[in-house]
Amino acid sequence: MNEPLDERPKPFLYVVVCAAGAAGDVGTLITMAQGRGWGVGVIATPQGLGFIDATAVEAQTGYPIRSAWRLPGEPRPLPPADAIAVAPATFNTINKWAAGVSDTLALGILCEAYGMGIPTVLLPYVNSAMAAHPAYQESLARLRGMGVMVSSRESHQPKAGGGADRFRWEEALELLGPAADARR
Whole-number Å distance between alpha carbons of 24 and 21 = 7
Please say which residue, 81 or 89, places its beta carbon nearer to ligand FMN: 89
Interface with ligand FMN includes 139 (CB under 6 A)?
no
User: Please, what is the minimum distance in Å from the beta carbon of residue 23 to ligand FMN?
Assistant: 8
Which listed range, 17-25, 58-66, 76-84, 109-117, lies at the site for ligand FMN (CB under 6 A)?
Answer: 17-25
Judged by CB, which is closer to ligand FMN: 34, or 47?
A: 47
105 with 154: CB under 8 angstroms? no
**Rounded Cα distance, 167 and 151, in Å:** 10
Read off the amino acid at residue 9. P
Between residues 61 and 67, which has the closer beta carbon with respect to ligand FMN? Answer: 67
Distance between CA 94 and CA 100 in Å, rounded? 10
φ, ψ of residue 127 to 5 degrees: the values are -75, 165
Q: Which is nearer to ligand FMN, 25 or 177 (CB)?
A: 25
Q: Shortest Cβ distance from residue 104 to ligand FMN (Å)?
A: 6
